[in-house]
A = this chain, B = another copy of it.
């Protein structure tokens, strides 16, 4: 029986090659799905790039879509490595945050998200995958949403709430959090446009540090905007 049949976890894994093969497939999937999209990536490409046989896809992940989901889970796991620490630090001391400390926590969070999406080259392969899921959510979107988006979005809303006096569960705090994320995400999702505008081939260190400065300066300025809603929402 293939390990993909039972939900997870091989019973006794007599063969040590197990990890090596499915890791190679996930690595290939990350590369190829990111480069060519789901439909643009054939099982044969995945097989060749990973060195594994085509049937290994069905064997380990059920089918191509199963591998795709595994790749998404891997993305969530990697992203968590970047922003997880900042999120947990906030969750721990959230009840006793003051305006000032909340501001500081938000800065840390914004910087770690920016570090992931602006500095690092790693998520460049994620972009197409994540954007596709945003545009046409499949079952895999749940993995992305519950695995990272929801927590991140919620934390930012909470901090905005503390800093501005807005109800953290209200529409305005959520919308503001969305614009904060937008300012950062655009450097991943629309990087090609920025590159062309700047007339360079790649973002230099100088650009990256300037982006960080601009980001925090503008987020900080946005925090000073007084509440706009007329208190109708929760």
Contact = CB atoms under 8 A, between A and B. Distances in A.
Interface of A: 34-40, 127-128, 131-137, 141, 145, 149-150, 153-154, 157, 171-172, 174-179, 181-187, 189-194, 196-198, 206-207, 210-211, 213-215, 217-218, 221-222, 224-225, 228-229, 232
Contact of A181 (B154, B174, B190): B190
Contacts of A171: 198, 206-207, 210
A32 to B, nearest CB: 12
Most buried by B among A131, A197, A229: A197
Nearest to A229: B210
Interface of A is mostly: helix
Copies of this chain, complex-wide, total: 2
Given A127-B135, A145-B193, A192-B137, A214 B176 contact: yes
Contact of A39 (B40, B145, B150, B154): B40
A150 B197 contact: yes
Given A182-B187, A225-B217, A37 B132 contact: yes
6 contacts: A37-B39, A38-B40, A131-B189, A150-B197, A171-B206, A217-B222
A153 B194 CA distance: 9
Given A39-B40, A181-B186, A210-B175, A196 B145 contact: yes
Contact of A190 (B174, B178, B192, B194): B178
A183 B179 contact: yes
A173 B176 CA distance: 22
The 5 A-B residue pairs with the shortest CB-CB distance, nearest first, are: A182-B186, A39-B39, A131-B131, A128-B135, A179-B183
A168 to B, nearest CB: 11
A104 B198 CA distance: 26
A145 B149 CA distance: 29
A210 B228 contact: yes
A213 B179 CA distance: 12
A83 to B, nearest CB: 15
Most buried by B among A128, A172, A218: A218
Contacts of A215: 179
B213 A228 contact: yes
